[in-house]
């Protein structure tokens, strides 16, 4: 009889929170790196340590045990069906809607056409790299990599910019783009994945799917946001009003998934509405203080757990040197694609967003994070998935550890430039 212990959901949560708290304390006390960078770095170091111990003492099967634990977490489901709704809503609460409205065309173009252009550049670039390496990878799989790696991660971007002094226009553009382009990227990824699977794909089907998911998500976000707004304005009881915000996030995201529309877009729209109209018109001073602090705390805790998981996911990768080299070569390719997809539109808007100050922030501050890894993990098993997952992980690690730790060195140089 198999008596192997399968950890419960509570066990997994307890281990993750304990690890996160311990490593956060160590980072704050000794490393003093930005929280997300420090936790991701220590997660990677822990993965490498486990692999080294496993190599030196294979009979203990430590690596196998850790991989089994990571598998129980199910990164893709944990992020895409749980944490993401909370993180997007919490992030959107702090975005100024008036600044966002002034730069709506920039945000709209960057989060739609920018994603499509970057997807194409990265996709064809990966096909060229794999051909150089003698690996056969169909173009459709290369484009899948382009779709999952092109959107900037709102969790990573807003976490990096949270403590930086940036002009309102630039902050609205970067934050707004990162909030909405991940929803667009997920839709594009789903369309290309359907084409790769041969599920009756056509251009008209792709266009209708894009419209229904994106516009439907925005409409649901508005509906959920206004329902929450009127419910909160009708009472003055902060525990109940906090419950209303939780119901908006959990109920709204679950409804979006069941309606097959974009949950990320819905949560971004609902968060913008409550963070601007709700905070100003539907809450007392006491409720406003509790709501902002509660969601700020949720944001910090889930961010910390997420970036620790990103670091730990390294242990699940297939140890293929060729795949790692392709991943390393993908880093400059992704940066070039980001520069091309943002540079051209910015030249048209150089009067409202000065090119020389905005361009480096959009390129270097366009961080990739957990969403890219979650999408790569959702691919069907096989050699193409192993290559794409490895390349994705390498690009995300570079983005979080190198770009994330140095973005503050770019931001102060543009901090004095007015972009309003």
- Sequence-ordered list of residues with C-beta below 8 angstroms from that of 322, at least 6 positions apart, any chain: 133, 135
Q: Are residues 109 and 215 in the same domain?
A: yes
The pTM of the full predicted model, rounded to 2 decimals, is: 0.91
Q: Are residues 297 and 341 in the same domain?
A: yes
Domain count, the chain: 2
Alpha carbon 29 to its chain's center = 27
**Along the 420 residues of the chain, how does pLDDT read in single tens digits?**
444 567 888 998 999 999 999 999 999 999 998 888 899 999 999 888 888 888 888 877 777 888 888 888 889 988 998 899 999 999 899 888 898 888 889 899 999 999 999 999 999 999 999 999 999 999 999 999 999 999 987 766 766 666 566 677 777 888 888 888 888 888 899 889 988 877 656 777 778 888 888 899 999 999 999 999 999 999 999 999 999 999 999 999 999 999 999 999 999 999 999 999 999 999 999 999 999 999 999 999 998 999 999 998 888 776 789 999 999 999 999 999 999 999 988 888 887 777 887 898 889 988 898 999 999 999 998 889 999 999 999 999 999 999 988 887 776 455 444 444
- Sequence-ordered list of residues with C-beta below 8 angstroms from that of 196, at least 6 positions apart, any chain: 138, 140, 141, 144
Domain carrying residue 37: 9-72
Contact 145, 389 (CB under 8 A): no
Q: Are residues 165 and 222 in the same domain?
A: yes
Using the structure block, give the residue that is written with the tokens 């009979």: 59
- Half-sphere exposure of residue 172: CA atoms within 13 angstroms, side-chain side: 22
> Has residue 1 been placed in a domain?
no
CATH number reported for the structural domain that contains residue 406 in this entry? 1.20.1530.20
Q: Are residues 112 and 65 in the same domain?
A: no
Q: Are residues 172 and 309 in the same domain?
A: yes
Q: Are residues 49 and 132 in the same domain?
A: no
Q: Are residues 53 and 119 in the same domain?
A: no
- The token duo for 287 is 């409720």
| CB-based burial label for 95 (10 Å; 0-12, 13-18, 19+) | buried
DSSP assignment of 80-102, as one string?
Answer: IIIIHHHHHHHHHTTS-HHHHHH
> Has residue 4 been placed in a domain?
no
């Amino acid at each position: 009889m198999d008596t192997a212990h399968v950890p419960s959901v509570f066990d997994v949560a307890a281990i993750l929170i304990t690890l996160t708290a311990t490593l956060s304390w160590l980072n704050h006390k000794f490393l003093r790196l930005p929280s997300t960078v420090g936790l991701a770095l220590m997660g990677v170091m822990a993965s490498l340590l486990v692999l080294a111990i496993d190599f030196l003492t294979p009979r203990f099967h430590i690596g196998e045990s850790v991989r089994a634990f990571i598998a129980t977490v199910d990164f893709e489901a944990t992020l895409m069906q749980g944490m993401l709704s909370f993180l997007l809503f919490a992030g959107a609460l702090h975005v100024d809607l008036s600044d966002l409205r002034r730069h709506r065309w920039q945000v709209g173009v960057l989060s739609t056409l920018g994603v499509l252009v970057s997807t194409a550049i990265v996709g064809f670039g990966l096909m060229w790299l794999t051909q150089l390496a003698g690996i056969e990878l169909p173009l459709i799989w290369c484009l899948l990599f382009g779709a999952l790696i092109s959107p900037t991660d709102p969790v990573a971007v807003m976490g990096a910019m949270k403590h930086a002094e940036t002009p309102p226009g630039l902050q609205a553009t970067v934050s707004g783009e990162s909030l909405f382009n991940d929803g667009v990227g997920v839709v594009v990824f789903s369309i290309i994945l359907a084409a790769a699977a041969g599920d009756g794909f056509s251009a008209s089907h792709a266009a209708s799917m894009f419209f229904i998911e994106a516009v439907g998500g925005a409409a649901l976000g508005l509906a959920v946001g206004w329902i929450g707004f009127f419910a909160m304005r009708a009472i003055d009881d902060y525990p109940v009003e906090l419950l209303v915000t939780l119901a908006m996030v959990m109920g709204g995201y679950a409804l979006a998934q069941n309606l097959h529309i974009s949950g990320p877009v819905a949560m971004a729209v609902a968060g913008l509405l409550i963070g601007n109209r709700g905070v100003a018109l539907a809450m007392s001073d006491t409720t406003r203080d509790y709501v902002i602090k509660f969601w700020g705390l949720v944001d910090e805790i889930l961010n910390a757990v997420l970036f620790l998981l990103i670091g730990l996911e390294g242990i699940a990768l297939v140890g293929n040197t060729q795949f790692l080299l392709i991943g390393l070569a993908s880093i400059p390719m992704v940066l070039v694609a980001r520069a091309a997809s943002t540079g051209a539109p910015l030249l048209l808007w150089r009067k409202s967003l000065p090119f020389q100050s905005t361009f480096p922030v959009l390129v270097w501050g366009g961080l990739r994070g957990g969403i890219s890894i979650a999408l790569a993990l959702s691919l069907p098993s096989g050699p193409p998935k192993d290559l794409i997952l490895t390349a994705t992980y390498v690009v995300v690690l570079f983005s979080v550890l190198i770009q994330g730790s140095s973005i503050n060195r770019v931001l102060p140089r543009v901090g004095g430039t007015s972009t309003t």
